[in-house]
Chain A
Amino acid sequence: MALIDIFQNTLDGLTAGASYALLGVGFTLIFGVLRRANLSYGPAIMLGAYAATWVSLHTGAGLLVLFLVAVLATVLAGSYVERLCFAPHRRGPAAAAMVASFAIWMQLEELATLLLPRHLYAFPALYEGGALHFGPFSLRVESLLMLLAALAVCFVGWKALYATRFGVAVRAVIDDPRAAELSGISVGAISLRVFALASAIGGLTGFLIVASHEQVTPMLGMWSTLKGMLAMMLGGLGSLPGAVVGGLALGLIEAHSQWYLGPQFRDFIAYFLLFALLAARPPWMNTRSAY
């Protein structure tokens, strides 16, 4: 029986890991270009999910409309964050940008709760049917969709970075912002567009998460920021495939430690691993670069 448990936990872990991977990819895009952690990434996702829920409650619109609303609202919130918290601090100290993004976190979260003040709202289900069964194992269709979305985002992101002019400009900014600026690339415009791209991925992720949980709560903002940062850090920071691996690893670790040790240890193990990884400074983690 133990083997079946291990396999089922692995399936569940990959499911949760897919959403962490998506969050990690968004974080990594922003971090790669700006070398700054955007604490209000999660709250922007939450605002997008809340806007979609609001539309759903008031109009009963279909999933496609809700998806578009979530993406649009997240992109708007993300661009607002970039203009207010990151564009003015591009050359300044990283601490100021990070604290400013925290201040806007508070703003976005209060805005979302003013929009929908109750603690819990229902969200239309992504898929009405039941889970798929393979022998003794079960897999929710939503999880499959989440995994597919993570792979698709990764593929599209990779294409965008390595097969377009925009991608060349983004990579130039990542390598050396000053040299990029001197070659005629507008660093400000690139960072705004990267922010919008990352926010669109965030909007998609938020939509998938609330539609597969069929509910939204005010915890979504903090949860997304913490899980996204963890996935990014575990993945070595700064590489998109790394963020996907980090997210999936985080999901697997959580699922197994929850099964064997209980829910409180689930989070403990994840943080412990992050701390141990940072302390050990493995070669794939570029821990020398500041911020």
Chain B
Amino acid sequence: MDEYAIGVLTSIGLLTFVAASAYLLLIAGELSFGQQAFFGVGAYAAGIATAMFGLPLPLAILAAMLLGGLAAALVGLPALRLRGLYFAMATLAAAEMLRILFELFHWQVQVGGEAVGPDGTQGFRGIRWVFERGVEPLGFLGIVWALLAGVVLLFILVERSRLGTTIRALGEDPELAGALGVDVLRLKLGVVAAAGALAALGGALFAHHNTYIEPRNFDIMLGVHTLAYALIGGLGTVFGPLLGVALDLGLLEGTRVFQGYRMIVFGGLVALLLIWRPRGLLDERMVHWLRTRR
């Protein structure tokens, strides 16, 4: 496989974690403009763990997910009492606050004679754990997609369980779900925390893929893009967000057919697609049809 293809496939994998976290919130009936911040929390936490304290990557990923979930829950606690656009704006405000905190975050230690750590707007360089251990790009691609496969499997299991049905019921009609005995706020808080941890997992891998992160990586553009990926891919199955990311990165950027006009083409396609299928390509009806077809 050539280097370019490996790069595109790795990016698709990394962004799918964030798109899947936006998807999880969407099926629970919440629209978040802030998942990029938890992606950022994961990136910073994992980078600090490996580059500054020499912890192994698996441990760093766990720490990143824990911190990402915690940060998301802290934002969700007040924000979840709000609905629709208000929730979206609260998550946007929180995410921008976190991004500005990254800009103000200076914490460096001496590692092997050089200062390593977050340096405000100058970013955080030298997150080289993966490369120092001689993992080739192809090997890292394997790690990303293996973890993604795990996430997808988990999604499929949950969506087939009672919990998954309850989450969808919550998205459909929270009042009715509450009347049927679902603890709406607690379940939503759990969903928000899980989505935060999922985005943080992507962020941890992103930091180690790039070896350099800066606050600008985690701005609102990333958030709205991943939301769009989840929605055009479809809200019927977890393969929806993956399809959304693959359509944009693989088809439009990867093939470089529309160089210079990519956004005009992509933007128009998305708007037209949403008229035809407001819940995405792989929406609930499509998934049901695919499943029952014999």
Contacts and interface: CB of A to CB of B under 8 A. Distances in A.
A24 to B, nearest CB: 13
A160 interface: no
Contacts of B270: 99-100, 103
Contacts of A287: 82-83, 86
B228 A99 contact: yes
Interface stretch (A81-89, A137-145, A205-213): A81-89
Q: How large is the interface on B (under 10, 10 to 19, 20 to 34, 35 or more residues)?
A: 35 or more
B267 A105 contact: yes
A233 B278 contact: no
Interface residues of A, number: 44
DSSP class of B's interface residues: helix, strand, loop or mixed? Answer: helix
B290 interface: no
A111 B264 contact: yes
A273 to B, nearest CB: 9
Interface string A254-274: 000000000011011001101
A37 to B, nearest CB: 6
A85 B84 contact: no
A271 B84 contact: no
Interface string A73-93: 000000000001100110011
A261 to B, nearest CB: 11
Q: Report, nearest first, the 7 A-B pairs whose CB atoms are least far apart.
A: A107-B267, A103-B270, A279-B78, A110-B263, A290-B84, A291-B84, A96-B278
Interface of A: 37, 39, 84-85, 88-89, 92-96, 98-100, 102-107, 109-111, 114, 222, 226, 229, 233, 264-265, 267-268, 271-272, 274-275, 278-279, 281, 287-291
Given A96-B278, A106-B267, 6 more contacts: A39-B224, A99-B232, A105-B267, A107-B264, A110-B263, A275-B78
20 contacts: A84-B271, A92-B278, A93-B279, A94-B31, A102-B228, A103-B228, A103-B270, A103-B274, A110-B261, A114-B260, A222-B220, A233-B89, A264-B104, A272-B93, A275-B93, A278-B78, A278-B86, A278-B93, A279-B78, A291-B85
